[in-house]
A and B are shown apart, each in its own frame.
With several copies, the nearest count.
Chain A
């Protein structure tokens, strides 16, 4: 899902320390990385991948149609517009600490242009044995039929690892991004999983705060036919100090562990109290095997 045989990956910030090593890991996982971009470094090669000054050139020369970002946080907004304007419609924004006002602009632009964008602060996207865009450690993943969507990067690895150990592979693993505003909401990822013929069950890895899970519950009730389980991290996390009253108005009572679990339970989503329970769940639902 999202990433397939026709995906031609561009790496932005490829000459940086992280961009370079992660490109190596992506190539080792047989991802079709066709180009890199670092302004001013056009003409270089990184792990044999040709580097360009601009996304436009990279697209023109290599037919890149998806991009993963390892650019510094203050440069993400600029790179995002550049990438969208060059015609790319799948973007993975790995960096953390991108200013929220930038993310809001990017989210609106993505919606306007029909772009699917993950992040910021995402480990990216991985389709086992096909490729990955981002930083997910490949050894934990196996091909299979369970879709995982996670707000947390490391917890997506944890769940994939547990599933793999229990004989249940993954169709696609999606890191949504851990920021208060993410470029693509959970509901939208669930829609993609519901439509994806290779996905037969879905695990949602959520956490306290925000209202992604509450909105997802409503969506699941109306539109999702596949079995869904959910884990919510932060059951015992101390409540943050409240800042002003506007949050209460925007979110009402949303955001708590209890509220999210109740919302999911009400629409028939199975609640996992600990990641390890995902192992039992896939067995119970017959989702093991490739």
Chain B
């Protein structure tokens, strides 16, 4: 789960990382009050969970009260990579001399945390990564903490800072790494960290992404990840414990396992248009598949449903009961094609067929999709 900028900054602040003074507002009038309260100029920042917000026009500087009003009205209407902000940060504008990049992330392949530093940060940092890799320092971190202030000092020296600047940056590096460990983050990032001519550091933008699997043991009040999902079907999916991704087609997909789900989507996508991606994970029950059917059919104009599940850890015969119960209760009429193999497959097939589901006994998804196409063709002709 990625936190909003202001949530990340509030956490960073409690660790002692300097952040500009800010307010969070939900309408232009509140933005104006906050702006006058903080003192102009201020930055208006759309709170949306996407990268490249600045380039997409989600951050505006206001010099006058009128600008605060007009710009905030504008931002509350502006769609940024598909998302319209519900909240804005109103933040005191800061004068800085340099902008650097600090990030702490999980290197998935090596399976260890890595600290990434660049003496050039800001909105164009990915260009720096690409064009000037020599300007970027990567520093593997110990797996279980134990990163010490002196190491942060060494790194901030390597970035070319000395005196007060070296001290203030190394403090931020040290504390960012501490947040990373204590919040079990997948990513903790400050981009840019502004450095003033006097050597003071200030966190101008913040990203904190935490591991949902670790949420329960992090000693902090974090929001429920489900509340973070904008799309109502995706949010509902999260609530019942499955991964649902909304797509713009009309063939519903239910699969066990992300790989099988993607494979189903790829094969269907070559000939038809998937309405969604849905993977159940390893917790199939009658109830869960009933709810999956409910989720998938929330999408209007659905033409068909494609079910692709394996009985490994999952009791697919239980799941089949949920599918059939849903069809009966709701009187669902659209074609449903199912491929269901593995433990107790014959039992599963029998149940599914009793609900009118077209069961494909072949072992490959390709054949099952072919059957789906045939049925849809037949229906059309």
Contacts and interface: CB of A to CB of B under 8 A. Distances in A.
**Do A and B touch, yes or no (CB under 8 Å, in the complex)?**
yes
Given A39-B153, A157-B312, A100 B184 contact: yes
A245 B189 contact: yes
Contact of A137 (B52, B126, B310): B310
A112 to B, nearest CB: 10
Interface string B129-165: 1100000101000011000111001100100001110
Contacts of B207: 243-244
B105 interface: yes
A42 B126 CA distance: 33
A197 interface: no
A82 B217 contact: no
A54 B161 CA distance: 13
B266 interface: yes
Given A212-B109, A247-B105, A158 B365 contact: yes
Given A137-B312, A245-B125, A155 B259 contact: yes
Interface of B, secondary structure class, is: mixed
Interface in B213-240: 213-214, 216-217
Contact of A100 (B103, B129, B213, B257): B213
A82 B187 contact: no
Contacts of B262: 152, 207-208, 233-235, 237
Interface string B162-201: 1110110010000000000100101101010000000000
Contacts, number: 258
A243 to B, nearest CB: 5
Contacts of A98: 213
Contacts of B362: 165
For chain A, give the interface size range: 35 or more
A40 B52 contact: no
Contacts of A154: 255-257, 259-260, 308-310, 312
Nearest to A81: B148
Given A181-B106, A238-B247, A243 B209 contact: yes
A97 to B, nearest CB: 4
Interface centre among B125, B136, B153, B166 (most CB of A within 10 A): B153
A84 B313 CA distance: 25
Interface in B84-109: 101, 103-109
B16 interface: no
Q: Which 4 A-B pairs have the closest CB atoms?
A: A152-B259, A137-B342, A161-B363, A154-B257
